[in-house]
Structures are given as structure tokens and as C-alpha cells.
Amino acid sequence: MWLVAGLGNPGAKYEHNRHNVGFLAVDEVARAFGAPAWARKFSGVVCEARNEPRIFFLKPQTYMNLSGEAVGACMRFYKIPPERLIVIYDDLDLLPGKLRVKQGGGNGGHNGLKSIDAHVGKEYWRVRIGIGRPEDKDRVADYVLSDFSKEEWTVQEKIIAALARHFALLVGGDPAGFMNKVALEISPPRMREPKELSPPK
């Protein structure tokens, strides 16, 4: 079994904030796996894909800073180990249009990860979706709790669609393949210009 948790804040006020890209992504992944409607459980909302492998999708409703409460409760109930947890979240240290996957590591100052670390440890998988940083460090809180611009959302929508389309590779044990497929869709390689042929002598 796997648990895939998208991080964000509940309520219409926050729905399209940069900080909620984890919620937006896990919605799309759950749809791609044919999971039914979300139901309230574990201080969050949960749905389940019963095909192989069995996957639970979770959106904590505790607000970002307490995300670990919902994640921990769900993992304990279903006896899911940390290495079978995937957390999807926004990352200030990645530029918009970038995505990274890794297992374990630090929290980078992300309050949702701090809470999850406290409840389940650090050996879970992270899917980091870049949102970039504001130029003024004092504006970080306002920045993450603001909506994506139209241009930013065009980029994020493309990333989320690619992430959902290839997510089966990640839960199937091929994180490198997942990253490669997503990267190719986000930034396809440029075709080389054909060389001009010399005129025949």
C-alpha cells in the first residue's frame, strides 16, 4: 500500500494559492487512478484507488502547519511505513516549472514537512513542485498565500498534468523513469537545425 499526501490549506480562500499546489496535484493524481469521491477521515479528506498497488490519497484539513497529524493518523491506521509515503508540496527553492523527487532529507523550512517529520520521521518520498521565491524575503508569507498568476498557472497546470500521467512509474518503483518522463513533457529537447548541404561539385 501507498499513501500519497498533497499539502495545502483547506477552504475556498486558499484553493489556488501557491502554497496549495500539493492539493491541486493530488486531486489530479487521484483522478488519473480512478479514485472515487473524497471522504472525511483522519482530520483530512481521503480517497482510495484499489487497483495494484493499492493507493490512499490524502489532503490534510488541519492547515499546513499541522499536516503531520492527519498524515500520521492515516499511516498508523493502515500500517503504512514511511518509505511508502509520498508527499507532494510547493518548494520555494525551485523555480516555477521545475519538479524534483527524492526520498528523505531536510524540510527546507517548509512547515508542512516539519509537522510530518515530527509525526512519522524523514524517510518518506517528496515530490517538490517549484514556485520560486519573491525578491523581498519579508514577503514570503504573502507570496505563498497568494494565487498563481495566469502565466504561472499555465506552467503549473502542465506540470501537474504530466505528474499525474506518469505517477504510476513512481509508485511502481521507478522514480528516475518518472522524473525523466515528466521532464520531457515540461521541457522537451530542442531539435537540432539540419546542416545545410554543400552544393554538388
List the catalytic residues: 19
Contact 144, 134 (CB under 8 A): no
Contact 151, 16 (CB under 8 A): no
Q: Compute the C-alpha angle 85/87/93, nearest 5°.
A: 140
Q: What is the dihedral of CA 170, 173, 175, 181, to 10 degrees?
A: -60
Distances in Å between the Cα of 178 and the Cα atoms of 101, 143, 166 are 9, 29, 6
- Distance, CA of 18 to CA of 91 (rounded, Å): 9
In 18-56, which positions are buried (b, 16+ CB within 10 angstroms) versus exposed (e)? Answer: bbbbbbbbbbbbbebbebeeeeebbbbbbbbbeeeeebb
